[in-house]
Amino acid sequence: MDITQLLDIAFQTRHQAHAPYSGFAVGAALLTKSGKIFSGCNVENVSLGLTICAERSAVAAAVANGEKDFVAIAVVAESAEPAVPCGACRQVLAEFNPELKVIASTSSGKIQELVLSDLLPRTRQGILEAFRDV
């Protein structure tokens, strides 16, 4: 999978976002081990806590279609710097693959490539191991 294709899908999906309150439209494209891509966009709600991020939207679409083995996610937003997944999205993504490749990009093409475990160092496995030591 070419990351350009993943970024293109995230960029296109970004245009479907429902972001009337923040004006911050985000698109995500999630690549599975089987080669399928699931996209998602943010869906805001006047009750901010009910807002769904693009990354979690893509995860929900993948899981609803029987896919749980994730390889990479591309996230595209209209921002000066690439927008990486928020804390809640990091936690949800780590549930499936703590070593997930994260490709964050601005809509103008500034790209940053990361590994999820660098963004969320104490992944689920690390937390479980910490509890065993108590």
Tell me the catalytic residues.
55
User: 């009337």: which residue's tokens?
Assistant: 20
**Closest by Cα among 15, 28, 82, 24 to 51:** 24
Strand partners, 100: none
Do 32 and 70 form a contact (C-beta atoms < 8 A)?
Answer: yes
